[in-house]
Amino acid sequence: MNSCACFSATKDIEMVRDANGNIPLEDFIELRQDCLALREILLPDEIWPAFLQWHRLGDDVASHCSVVLLAYRRGCLPKVTGPIHRYLMTETGISAKARKQYVKDLREKWMLDPDPGERHRLSRTFRGRLIELQYAEWLEGQNHSILGMEAVRQGPDIEARSPDGVTTSYEVKFFGMEDADFQTLLASMRSGPAGGAISVYQPLNYLIFRVYQASLQLASAFGDRVVVIAIDGMAWFRFDMQVSGGWIDWLNPAFMQVDEEWQRFMETQPNGGPSETDLRNAISQIGRAKVYQQNAAFEFKLELDAETR
């Protein structure tokens, strides 16, 4: 698969613009014709005309742009297409093993929604699917062998064997910029600098909650169990000080400084959300919680590797 044209798309062309200040699409159009991952999964024919039209017009409200197209312009497209080729494609098309819903979720059409806020949420969902494949490829780069993936069968997101023979099941969660921060960004773009107070505890509570949810998903998984949280670089400021400072006691996890906003969020969860006992019981059943920061080039940086039992 490394012979596909997309693996040669490693030149940063983001600053190449035409006389009108736009970045030309012609080279990307040509590349799509030569790349099965782009043509069959990420940008299939049923969304391709609308995708092209949207990007030719541009987004004056939120400056949104396709994840795939940005990766191409920044010279890191293989970080997006590579794992798709590796796990979901054959030499001639989509693998028969690839789950239909998984493939459907990887169609990059989120930018076609007319509402900027909804586009932002849908783009996070798209990245959440992609991150599972990217992390599997990263594990293989660390000399792990991939034994199974949700992309091709039911079960944990990833099952892998380490170089020393240990089998581990992974559940992978992606955190993008939260909705409130995105709305602040929109306000800044519209009217100049904008901001507001933020809680240092609510992001940690959300992190604990998502690890709890992932732990429940791994309850019947085989071998060692690890929850992976990958946080986009644009959202990392919300977690940096607290994660780096070791604010969470992972052997006795508990929500901190619960306020009305967090209580309202918990009320939307089944049974009003987990109790402290529920948190401890679930999270103690996994072995580790790992937190990574993922930058704009889709590179993983390990920020936390915590024992949970």
- Residues facing 158 on adjacent strands: 149, 170
Strands (E), the chain: 145-149, 158-161, 167-175, 224-232, 288-294, 300-307
Q: Say whether 129 sits in a helix, a strand or coil.
A: helix
User: Which residue in the block uniquely carries the two structure tokens 């602040």?
Assistant: 184
Q: Residue 130 corresponds to which tokens in the numbers above? A: 């992609």
Is the pLDDT confidence value at 20 over 60? no
Position with higher pLDDT, 179 vs 89: 89
Buried/exposed 69-84: b ≥16 CB within 10 Å, e otherwise: bebbbbebbbbbbbbb
| Confidence at residue 44, expressed as pLDDT on a 0 to 100 scale | 98
Q: Report the length, in residues, of the chain.
A: 309
User: Which residue in the block uniquely carries the two structure tokens 């939260």?
Assistant: 178
Q: What is the pLDDT of residues 40-52, one digit of tens each?
A: 999 999 999 999 9
- Percent helix, strand, coil in the chain, to 5, is 45, 15, 40
d(CA 206, CA 243): 13
Return mean pLDDT, the chain: 91
Is the pLDDT confidence value at 97 over 60? yes
Three-state secondary structure string covering 42-80: HCCCCCHHHHHHHHHHCCCCCCCCCHHHHHHHCCCCHHH
Q: Which of 78-92, 179-193, 250-264 has the lowest mean pLDDT?
A: 179-193
Q: What is the pLDDT of residues 246-300, one digit of tens each?
A: 999 999 999 999 989 899 999 999 999 999 999 999 999 999 999 999 999 999 9
For residue 82, what are the CA distances in angstroms to 67, 172, 230? 14, 18, 19
| Confidence at residue 182, expressed as pLDDT on a 0 to 100 scale | 46
For residue 27, what are the CA distances in angstroms to 31, 34, 38, 52, 200? 6, 11, 13, 13, 44
Buried/exposed 195-213: b ≥16 CB within 10 Å, e otherwise: eeeeeeebbbbbbbbbbbe
| Confidence at residue 231, expressed as pLDDT on a 0 to 100 scale | 97
| Confidence at residue 196, expressed as pLDDT on a 0 to 100 scale | 60
Q: Quick one: DSSP state of residue 143?
A: T
- Treating both helix axes as pointing N-terminal to C-terminal, what angle do 116-141 and 179-191 enclose, rounded to 10 degrees? 120
* % of the chain with per-residue pLDDT over 70: 90
User: Which residue in the block uniquely carries the two structure tokens 């773009």?
Assistant: 189
Residues 6+ apart with CB under 8 A from 56: 22, 25
Q: List, in sequence order, the alpha helices (H) in 61-176.
A: 67-73, 78-88, 100-105, 116-141
**Residue 168 in contact with residue 224, Cβ under 8 Å?**
yes
For residue 120, what are the CA distances in angstroms to 98, 156, 172, 221? 27, 26, 20, 32
**Residue 211 in contact with residue 227, Cβ under 8 Å?**
yes
Q: What is the pLDDT of residues 187-226, one digit of tens each?
A: 565 656 655 657 899 999 999 999 999 999 999 999 999 9
In this prediction the pTM is: 0.93
